[in-house]
Amino acid sequence: MGCDIHAVLQVKINDSWITKEEIFNFRNYEVFAFLAGVRNYSDIEPLNEPKGYPVDFKDERDDRHSASWFNAEELLSIDYPNKTVEDCRCTIQTGPNSYNGGATCEKGKGRLMTLSSFLGSSFMNDIYLIKDYTTDYGKANVRVVFDFDN
């Protein structure tokens, strides 16, 4: 069974958080691992452990897991093009003509790459979108709230 992320970009206007659009709206287990340690086959260090919904978030769902959020400053302070990560996700043969593409190899045997390459262009496009919103609303008034389903 697959896992999907449900993420919204919100801005604060007159002391209320308003959802502007959905972001990170694609199945990418590398992004899930980076944001919250979910489906972390790559064995990378998550940005943070899930911290739940913000206390003022109004769209909580009972059937979701690993809810968390980040403000724009947290997401924009990372040097994605220059930070190096080791992707330890690998494919192993589990039997004749049978393979597991979600296996994790030991540290030192993975692939070194930049964080931006690891996370992919769709993620980076959403990071640029977040940055655009901070131009109009300021970093303190932009956040991303997300959770996952299976």
Distance from C-alpha of 25 to C-alpha of 144, rounded to nearest angstrom:
12
pLDDT number for residue 2: 82
pLDDT number for residue 76: 97
In a domain, 28, yes or no: yes
pLDDT number for residue 61: 72
Q: How many CB atoms lie within 10 A of CB 101?
A: 9
pLDDT number for residue 150: 82
Average pLDDT over every residue of 119-144: 97
In a domain, 104, yes or no: no
Which residue bears the tokens 């502007």?
A: 20
In a domain, 86, yes or no: no
In a domain, 42, yes or no: yes
Average pLDDT over every residue of 49-74: 88
In a domain, 75, yes or no: yes
Residue 68 in this model has a pLDDT that exceeds 80: yes
Average pLDDT over every residue of 61-79: 91
Residue 30 in this model has a pLDDT that exceeds 70: yes
In terms of Cα–Cα distance, which of 5, 12, 29 is closest to 71? Answer: 12
Mean pLDDT, the chain, whole residue set: 93
Task: Provide the number of structural domains found in the chain.
Answer: 1
Distance set, CA 73 to CA 49, 127, 137, 138, 141 (Å): 17, 11, 12, 9, 10
Binning pLDDT at 50, 70 and 90, where does residue 60 land? Answer: low
pTM comes to 0.89
pLDDT number for residue 19: 96
* 27 DSSP 8-state letter: -
Q: What's phi and psi for 139, nearest 5 deg?
A: -60, -35
In a domain, 68, yes or no: yes
